[in-house]
Structure formats: C-alpha cells, structure tokens
Amino acid sequence: MEKAAIFHQPYGAYADPLSPYCLRVRLRVKKGDLTACTVYHGDRYSQEEDQDYVQLQKTASDMYFDYFTGDLPTQTKRIRYVFYVQNEREAYWYGENGFSQDRRSAGVFQYAYITYSNLFDLPEWALDGVVYQIFPERFANGDRSNDPQNVEPWTVGARPKPDSYYGGDLQGVMDRLPYLEKLGVNVLYFTPIFRSPSNHKYDTTDYYQIDPHFGDMKTFRKLVEKAHRHGMRVILDAVMNHTGVGFFAFRDVIDHGSVSRYADWFHISSFPVQTEPRPNYETFANDVWTMPKLRTQHPEVKAYFLDVAEYWVKEVGIDGWRLDVANEVEADFWRAFRQRVKKANPEALIVGEVWHDASPWLMGDQFDSVMNYLFRDAVVDFFGRGRIGAEELDARLAHSRMLYRTQPQYAMFNLLDSHDTERFLTTCGGNEKRMRLAVLFQTTYVGMPMIYYGDEVGMQGGSDPDCRRPMIWEKRRQNRALFNFYRKVLRIRREQTALRRGNIRVWVAQGRIYGFLRRLENDCVGVIVNNSDHMCEISLDTAAFGQPTVLVELLSGQSVQTTKEGRLFITLAPYEGRVYTAPSTNGAKKPALNRSNIPL
C-alpha cells in the first residue's frame, strides 16, 4: 500500500458539511491501490464502541489517484472519524496521527461542530441555470439614437479592431428576449454596462450610471423586469480590481497628487501621476495605464464598492455578479462582498473569474462559482484540437471536480469560449460535428452550461478582438441547424432532472470514446460521444439504469434493446453523440435538492 499517496484533511473539499447533520468526507489514494475503504465515526464525546461505519464509494479517478467518498450522518453536529483502508495485501487504520494497525494509535480526525457558516449557501435556481453571455456592444442595436460616433457597418463580414464600435445596446437585448427564450437559456450574463470610454467597458468611469451608448437606468430597469417575466435571471460584471482613468477618485489624484484624499486608494509609487512612457502606478495586467489598480484592503475603497454591489442588487433587482480579475483582489474584500450581497438578496449568485484552481475562493465564504476554465481547457484539448484521448479527458475533469466542495460544482460556468478567447468553432477548425459533440457534452455535464453569444448560430472568430464580432441576425446567414441542435439538447437538459442535479460517474473512457452517467435517486441518464472520424462499436453496462430491457435515445427518440446480461451494444458514427435513459425514468420529476441530499 502506497501510504504516501493517501491524503485527507478535516476541512475544505475533503470534509464538506452538506447540512448541520451530514458531513461528506473524501479520501485520496494511489490509483488502483485500495480494494475497500471504511470510515468509523461517532460523536466527538462518544466511546469507540458507540461508533457507526460507512463504506466509502470510489467516486472519481484522475491520472494518479482514486477518490473515495461517503456521507457521515450526525445528530449532534460533532463528528470524529477514522478510516480503515484495505487492499489484497494489508490493511491499516488511518487517522490524524497517521497509519497504524492499532486503531487508537492512528488517532482520529475531528470536525468539531458544524456551524451555519460551514455550510455552502448556494442558490437553488443555479442548478437549473443555462447561461448566455452577452457582450452588449456587439449583440443587437435596438436604439440608433444612442450610437457612438463612427459606428461601423453591422455585417457578417465585420472584423472588429480594438477600438471598433457597432452600436449594440440594452434596447437591442430587450428586443431579442423572445429569441433567447426560444433558444432555452435562463441566465443572462452581461459584460460591463457602466459608463466607460471603451467598447468593452472594463475601464469604468462611473459605477452608478449606465453607459449612455447602451441606454439609461430606465431602459435597464425595464430590461431586468422583462427578463424576469421571461424566466431569466440577470448577472452583471463587477470590475473592482481596477477602475478607468476617468473614475472620479483617480481623476482627483491626477489633479491634486499626493494631497488628494484618494491618493491611497491606488497603488501609486510616486507623484505626480504619470502615464507615459510607463505608468508609475499598478494597473490591470502589465502597464495598462487606462486601468489603475485599486487598494481593495483600504476601508474607504471597500465601503464604496460594497455600496455599489448592494445598490444594483437591492435597488435595481439584478440576480448576481460576475467578478472580473477576481483572483487579484483581497480575500477579505470578497468575504465582505458576499455578506453584503447575500444580505441584499440571499438568492443572488456570485461568480468569480479565475482561470486556474479556484478552491481558495470556493470554500463557502467568497464565491458560489467561477468561470470554469479548467473545464474549457480539457474540452478544447479533447474536442477542439484532438490533443488528448478520453482517458486523459476523464482524468482532468475528475481532478478539477475533486478540487472543490460538492455544491459549487453544480453552479460552475462551464464555457467553451468567451469574449477573452477564440470562438470554439474556430478552435475546431470549422468542423461543426466536433462543435456539436462539445455542446452535447457541455449541456449534460455537471454545472451550468455557458453559451457565448452567437455560438448557437455558428459564429467564428480568433482571439480578442476577432471573437467580438457583431451578432449575426440575418436568418439566411445563421446556421439554423446548429441553433435547433442547441434547442434540442437544452430541452433534454430541462426535461431530465438528473442532467442538472445528478451525480456523475464515468461510463466508458477509451481511445476517442467517452461516456458518463448522471444519476439522481432512480433517474439515470447516460451520455456517450465518439470523438473520432471512424465508426466505433462498443458494449456498455446498463446496471446503473436498473437493468432495463429497453433504453430510449433522447436525441433521436428511438428505443434500443439491451441484452439479458445487462449490456447495450451500439455502433456510433464518426463524431456522433447519444443520450440514453430508461423509458420509466420520470425526467420531468424534480426531487427537492438541498444540502443534505446532493448525491455522491
């Protein structure tokens, strides 16, 4: 037994309270090393002979490790526990003192008391969310009277430059709400809409004013109200790592230098402020002089921006925030941000922009979710570029899931692309079949699928600014077959509760064939894709479906027989994907999902 590979800690993703009366524990071990793992547990003040036990399940495997998981019930909210790990050759107790064949010598892990602050307070609506990202300047022009000067033609052949304007606005979004409803999305995420001199608006001048080229407060309030009537939530982009140079506080520092009352709101190394040849203050990224970085640990800075966050939630009615450059802001600021926003609306969603392991921000005291770039990286490498096989895809996805507590996994923004990346269809070299496979995968995987505007009609584009072309609205120029495919897979997602709220297990991962199972109570859905250019025959175990004699393929509506031995034999065409469920599965049923019954 490889003891050095065995790992547990009594907090974070490895000891995750789902409710005051249930603790989910996780153990990491060398891949293929254990045959069984049991947890003996009881109240911290109980005797050993009073303890219960739970047999852990192997719930995931990455390239190097297996992960065993189980739920420990408690009536007192106090838990102590010890693992008993076994393989064919040996067995050990594993506790806080390490390994021993004597139980008491191994010691115990303790979760002293499950307090309310230990629980992950995730809005339930997020589990059913399908996100549509809107870059307002490029989505739709509904009011030409507010267009900027030198607006360029809104055409399919448009190729934006960094300073291009096309006239998109909030009225345009409002006009297209029926389109978005028909597509099947229910969460609208807007990149910044506040006053700013740029087309992207990440250099904010006024956090309390809608940019006049987008509309005004009256228009935005009406948009929020109409979106809500259409069953859609509205999430705005909060840029609180930095401001624009036109922000009132930075302007005051430019005008008054070191005696400005706002001089210590920013990271300024000397006075007077200079922007050329290099700024003498910290900025977003490297020397982006138009975006001075804020000192978010400063009490006045914190107070100002927490007021901003509360205002748009409480007074205007938005449903959450996406946080720009979230990993470069003080953690204490985000903790205070969460408290203020959740007080204004406990159902508000908070999503951070983090391109790497985001576990420090997903402990329950800062964000609900992040932009899931780890997911995107794996999907790009498997579907988009064909660099990895199914085994590595599964390992990378499992590794990223095991970084996090259970609840945020269901609210991750699972993106294929965004305003910061090239379009996914471009990544696929224009191969629509591979794009469709990735979309099928995205909309059935754990988390919230996020669609970047225009992907659903076949838009392409390289990296910024080419990925920000104006939306294609001429139906004859849209890929309507792809649009209808999006509608179909999103309808399947809505109808099958297990695809939104179920657990996930690998079904098959070999070569270019990948399949997984989503299960919730008695509901089970299986997804399988052939990411290759040749036909593939495969045999699949149907035990997870309850050994049915027939399964229904949801994309085609066709039924298929299973064998008496509980196998499903299928032939997949090149770049074909399928979704199976048992005909008795009541996909429309919506079991109550709370912290205590999220499946393993």
DSSP conformation letters of 446-514: SSEEEEETTGGGT----STTGGGPPPP--GGGS-HHHHHHHHHHHHHHHH-THHHH-EEEEEEEETTEE
Tell me, what amino acid is at 357?
D
The helix (H) or strand (E) run that includes residue 81 is strand 79-86
- 169, 353, 394, 456: the catalytic one is 353
- Among 516, 507, 511, 517, which Cα is nearest to 539's? 507
- 324, 394, 455, 456: the catalytic one is 324
124 labelled catalytic: no
- Among 355, 369, 449, which Cα is nearest to 404's? 369
Distance between CA atoms of 440 and 490, rounded to whole angstroms? 9
353 labelled catalytic: yes
The four Cα atoms 117, 123, 127, 133 give a dihedral, to 10 degrees, of: -120
H, E, C per residue of 447-466: CEEEEECCHHHCCCCCCCCH
Distance between CA atoms of 312 and 193, rounded to whole angstroms? 12
| Matching residue, tokens 């309808």 | 491
Distance between CA atoms of 495 and 505, rounded to whole angstroms? 20
Distance between CA atoms of 447 and 414, rounded to whole angstroms? 6
User: Using the 8-state DSSP alphabet, how is residue 551 labeled?
Assistant: E
67 φ/ψ angles, rounded to the nearest 5 degrees:
-125, 125
| Matching residue, tokens 């402990």 | 363
User: 464 vs 33, 418, 478, CA distance in Å?
Assistant: 46, 10, 22
Enzyme catalytic residues: 324, 353
